[in-house]
Amino acid sequence: MNIAVLAGDGIGPEIIAQAVRLLDVLKAEGFDIELEYGLIGGSAVDATGEPYPEMTHQLVSRADAVLLGAVGGPQYDVLPRPQRPERGLLAIRKALNLFANLRPAILYPELAKASSLKPDVVAGLDIMIVRELTGDIYFGKPRGIEMRDGQRVGVNTMVYNEAEIQRIAHVAFRTAQKRNRRLCSVDKMNVLECTQLWRDVVEETGKAYPDVKLSHMLVDNAAMQLVRDPKQFDVIVTGNMFGDILSDEASMLTGSIGMLPSASLDSHNKGLYEPIHGSAPDIAGKNVANPLATILSVAMMMRYTFNQEDVAQHIEEAVKKVLVQGLRTSDIASQGMHVLGTREMGDAVLSAF
Ligand code: NAD
């Protein structure tokens, strides 16, 4: 397991350190793990002038998986756009052809109060959103703002070809096979031809997965159902733009940004694993950041890149045990809970592991 570790900026180094301690334990238990460290984002700009330097590109290209903290910070917001830390993220996704973004929205029953929805609607929520990441209206051409008949017109193009839809559908069906075998594909086929093709191709691809129950939903209804009854879903698959919006909606249902991991995969299950949150400059360097999203990203890495389902579950169980014990970082603490710092939360997970 060759893993490239890119801590990034802000709380990145603190949360990554806890995930690395876990990887060190796995290594000591006999797993063949090699870690190599690199720079990305603002820290890479400081050292090299670029957010995604060539050395980092070499490093992630030879790795099987990448573990990333977060990038960004107010000190970099004045830089020209090509040098902004966030460009490093876009560059690495593009360079590795990471077309499938997997974002679980999980709400542990112990944290049900953190959600803005009623606890009985969300407690125990466990859904996975599979979002296509490299196509759709975000990349389609023609695009731009132009003059037509004396007024400005804005144009973007929603476009998917069958191969692009098939490859994300395969990822979604395989993901559903590893979970509760239900897949809901989200589109807007009543208005958009592009998504009629989406629905047709997902339906055709599904013939190879008779064990997965496939359903379809229009995106407006899906947005509504996510707040009305989110637990009806197991896996949702959708295009880039709908996925952008629905995955944020779903993760915010949980109210615990410090708890949610993510994976971005290529067609050979090479993946970039990172928490969904940013670099949280407001709390950086204070040993208060929640490292659990990063630790759970390691669990996703074990599941999706290294096919180590047992190890993945073991990590997730350790996180659950810690929550059941009433241990919390301050972002998820409620009254009567024992509040821990970043490193102490890492200690707690390791002793529960
Ligand atoms: P953010 O996710 O960094 O922080 C939002 C809020 O959540 C803050 O109050 C922060 O303290 C809190 N928070 C986030 N992660 C936490 C954790 N693990 N534990 C406890 N609290 C946590 O979003 P933002 O403030 O909008 O952005 C800050 C910087 O991060 C910006 O430069 C932004 O561009 C960047 N960003 C990076 C990524 C990424 O690297 N993938 C994603 C989003 C934002």
Domain boundaries, the chain: 1-99+266-353, 110-257
Catalytic residue among 77, 220, 229, 282: 220
> Is 1-99+266-353 CATH 3.90.226.30?
no
CA of 257 to the centre of ligand 1 (A): 9
- Per-residue pLDDT at 81 exceeds 90: no
Catalytic residue among 27, 64, 126, 138: 138
Q: Taking a C-beta distance cutoff of 8 angstroms, is the pair 253, 119 a contact?
A: no
Domain 1-99+266-353 identical in fold to domain 110-257: yes
The pLDDT tens digits of the residues spanning 188-239 come to 999 999 999 999 999 999 999 999 999 999 999 999 999 999 999 999 999 9
pLDDT of residue 63: 98
CA of 51 to the centre of ligand 1 (A): 18
Average pLDDT rounded to a whole number, residues 77-95: 91
Q: How far apart are CA 335 and CA 270, in angstroms?
A: 41
pLDDT of residue 8: 98
Question: What's the mean per-residue pLDDT of the chain?
Answer: 95
* Omega before residue 85 within 30° of 0, cis: no
Q: How far apart are CA 14 and CA 34, in angstroms?
A: 20
Confidence class for position 335, pLDDT limits 50, 70, 90? confident
pLDDT of residue 193: 98
Q: Please give the number of the atom of ligand 1 that sits closest to the Cα of 76.
A: 32
Q: Is 220 a catalytic residue?
A: yes
Average pLDDT rounded to a whole number, residues 163-189: 97
Residues near ligand 1 (Cβ within 6 A):
11, 15, 70-73, 86, 89, 257-258, 274, 277-283, 289-290, 293, 331
pLDDT of residue 69: 98
pLDDT of residue 116: 86
Which residue's entry shows tokens 């929520």? 125
Q: Please give the number of the atom of ligand 1 that sits closest to the Cα of 275.
A: 41
Mutate to test the pocket of ligand 1, among 252, 279, 297 (most ligand atoms within 8 A of CB): 279
CB atoms within 10 A of CB 256: 22
- Per-residue pLDDT at 113 exceeds 90: no
CA of 115 to the centre of ligand 1 (A): 18
Would you tell me which CATH number, out of the four given (3.20.20.70, 1.20.120.720, 3.40.718.10, 3.30.70.20), belongs to the domain 110-257?
A: 3.40.718.10
Considering only CA atoms, which residue is closest to atom 12 of ligand 1?
280
Q: Please give the number of the atom of ligand 1 that sits closest to the Cα of 8.
A: 40
The pLDDT tens digits of the residues spanning 32-47 come to 999 999 999 999 999 9
- Shortest CA distance to 38 belongs to which of 68, 73, 72? 68
Which is higher by pLDDT, 251 or 316? 316
Average pLDDT rounded to a whole number, residues 121-141: 93
CB atoms within 10 A of CB 314: 15
pLDDT of residue 248: 87
Catalytic residue among 248, 320, 321, 347: 248
pLDDT of residue 229: 96
Q: Please give the number of the atom of ligand 1 that sits closest to the Cα of 70.
A: 40
Confidence class for position 115, pLDDT limits 50, 70, 90? confident
Q: Is 248 a catalytic residue?
A: yes
CA of 164 to the centre of ligand 1 (A): 31
Considering only CA atoms, which residue is closest to atom 16 of ligand 1?
258
pLDDT of residue 336: 83
- The model's pTM is 0.92
pLDDT of residue 31: 97
The pLDDT tens digits of the residues spanning 241-280 come to 999 999 989 988 887 889 999 999 999 999 999 999 999 9
Q: Please give the number of the atom of ligand 1 that sits closest to the Cα of 77.
A: 32
pLDDT of residue 10: 98
